[in-house]
Amino acid sequence: MITIGAFQELKNKFGQRFKDSPADKLTFSKDKWLKLKFIEKREKPFSHLADGVVEPAGTDEIQWLVQWAVKNNVPLIPRGGGSGVCGAAVPVNGGIVIDMSSLNRIWGINYADEYIWVESGIMGNQIEKALQVITPENFYLNYQYTCGHSPASLSISTPGGWIATRSAGQFSSIYGTIEDLVLAIEAVNEKGERELIKGDDLKRFFRMEGSSGIITKVKMRIFPVSPFRQFLAFRFDDSKWAMGIVKAVSLLMERHENTDPHCVVRLYDSLDAAVNGPRIRDRRTKKANLAERFLLKYPTFLNKIAAKLEKKGKIQPLLVVMIQPPLDFYRCTNEQLSNLMAEKAFQFKDIISSFGGTFVGSDLAEAWYNNRFKLTYENVERRFEKGIFVETFDTTVPLDCVLEVYTAVKNAVSGCAVVLAHLSHIINETCCIYFTFAGKGRNLQETELLYDKVCDKSARAAIDAGAFITHHHGIGLKNIGYARYAYGSEWFMETREFQSDIFNPKKL
């Protein structure tokens, strides 16, 4: 309970930047975890409601806020873009949500030492935009820069959220995950002090969901962007076969010399390739929408049809490959680069065809690249209003058990929901299998029960088959029970020592 006096103090300090209308409190108490939509529909009022929202203008105000929160014993829940999909930014026991959106400035770009300092609430696309501007400091360089982190949610997520969820961008096999990209953090600790965190200490913040402090500024690496890129796409006959050759694909991606190109690959099973995969033209029709609503009532039937269509070659798994020159490409001549990339493309064509893949040109891979930030969340919301749930599930899978995890999750869930999957983020002998489930009950209550069942069955099946939960979506309320099971209690004991009871409590 926040006392009237404490509330008044907050209002006096933040004025218009303190909000406590029911609409604001509801908006800032949810992220994009689908379960919250079910809860919102059946619970009035919503049970995980914040007591208020403040929008600090800078680090000084966050320091004041933390001291106020400690004095009054009020939880603080930092919130970046609110694009998390696991309920990590939900105020479980009330408290004040810190809307970080005004901490959106760029503090400096150092092209010589290749880093950028940004405030933690800036949206990712604004960072990329700043890195593409020609300034007196970089006009002599012939290329643009990137921070190398490109989640599909780039335009709706922030560095604070990336660090707190341990996010991974679509080019993680080139630049690494967010852990590889952050050089230093400025944060406010529970005493309200400003801290500069570097090196090994950074682990106090990765995947900690804001429970160890409020991140206020972030120093990130930047990289020159090569103007060259090469795209390849391959079709296969059978999804399981395609999943089974990932180890061979990973060997093709290995770099032995500094001049070796980097590769990004994505492998879609046949149903995911047909439904979510890259397209050269958007072929979705009204008939397809109607068929979807009808077929989702009979998921087993739809999964069987998909298997039959795959057997007849009507839908096929798809492997897309992007080849990019080494990060210090400027040391090579254009001719050297094009030879290196052509050689890598040749190796892919040669090896993948020996594993039964058919080269189908570059268009589909290019279509993936061009549409990589096209957000699909609006479709999820639209379908939810029509009584259909669409949920995703990201797993970290050692390359040795890709087929086991893929098969186990499909078998566990295909009796009650439609299951699609793609595989990406091949780094250090692991990858991410990203499942999408869709289902529909006869009414909202039944749909929610089905949703819970699918999430539970898939998580258990994945862990039993050797996967870790999660890959890049963070833990949050959605995964906390399974994460304990997957990581063991030691990880939680270790993280416990970094946490403060005041910051985003009752999460990890």
Which residues make up the interface to ligand FAD (CB under 6 A)? 31-32, 77-85, 88-89, 100, 120, 151-153, 157-158, 160-162, 164-165, 167-168, 170, 209-210, 214-215, 375-377, 472-474, 504
User: Which residues face 217 on adjacent strands?
Assistant: 119, 186
Please indicate if the annotation marks 214 as binding a ligand: yes
Taking the CA atoms of the chain, what radius of gyration do you get in angstroms? 23
Please indicate if the annotation marks 61 as binding a ligand: no
- Residue among 182, 77, 201, 211 at smallest CA distance from 480: 211
Q: Between residues 262 and 473, which has the closer beta carbon with respect to ligand FAD?
A: 473
Tokens of 488: 């063991």
Nearest approach, Cβ of 218 to ligand FAD (angstroms)? 9
Q: Between residues 138 and 150, which has the closer beta carbon with respect to ligand FAD?
A: 150
Q: What is the phi/psi pair of residue 35, to 5°?
A: -55, -30
Q: Between residues 348 and 468, which has the closer beta carbon with respect to ligand FAD?
A: 468
Q: Between residues 32 and 35, which has the closer beta carbon with respect to ligand FAD?
A: 32
Please indicate if the annotation marks 55 as binding a ligand: no
Q: Between residues 336 and 376, which has the closer beta carbon with respect to ligand FAD?
A: 376
Nearest approach, Cβ of 160 to ligand FAD (angstroms)? 2
Tokens of 94: 């009330």
Residue with the two structure tokens 């800036």? 122
Q: Between residues 121 and 357, which has the closer beta carbon with respect to ligand FAD?
A: 121
Query: How many C-beta atoms lie closer than 10 Å to residue 359's C-beta?
Result: 16
Please indicate if the annotation marks 156 as binding a ligand: no
Q: Between residues 35 and 344, which has the closer beta carbon with respect to ligand FAD?
A: 35
Q: State the catalytic residues.
A: 434
Q: What is the phi/psi pair of residue 410, to 5°?
A: -60, -45
- Residue among 13, 155, 172, 34 at smallest CA distance from 98: 13
Nearest approach, Cβ of 459 to ligand FAD (angstroms)? 18
Nearest approach, Cβ of 187 to ligand FAD (angstroms)? 7
Nearest approach, Cβ of 163 to ligand FAD (angstroms)? 7
Separation in Å, CA 388 to CA 18, 86, 123, 199, 283: 36, 19, 30, 45, 21
Please indicate if the annotation marks 173 as binding a ligand: no
- Residue among 129, 337, 381, 149 at smallest CA distance from 228: 337
Nearest approach, Cβ of 5 to ligand FAD (angstroms)? 27
- Residue among 392, 450, 448, 387 at smallest CA distance from 424: 392
Tokens of 421: 């999957």
User: How open is the CA angle 20-51-161, to the nearest 5 degrees?
Assistant: 95
Helix (H, G, I), strand (E, B) or coil at 236: coil
Please indicate if the annotation marks 212 as binding a ligand: yes
Please indicate if the annotation marks 213 as binding a ligand: yes
Helix (H, G, I), strand (E, B) or coil at 100: helix
Residue with the two structure tokens 């692991």? 430
Nearest approach, Cβ of 39 to ligand FAD (angstroms)? 17
Separation in Å, CA 88 to CA 32, 78, 126, 391: 10, 10, 23, 16
Q: What is the phi/psi pair of residue 504, to 5°?
A: 40, 60
Buried b (16+ CB within 10 A) or exposed e, 13-40: ebeebbbeeeebbeebbbbbbbbbbbbb
Residues annotated in the binding site for FAD, as ranges? 209-215
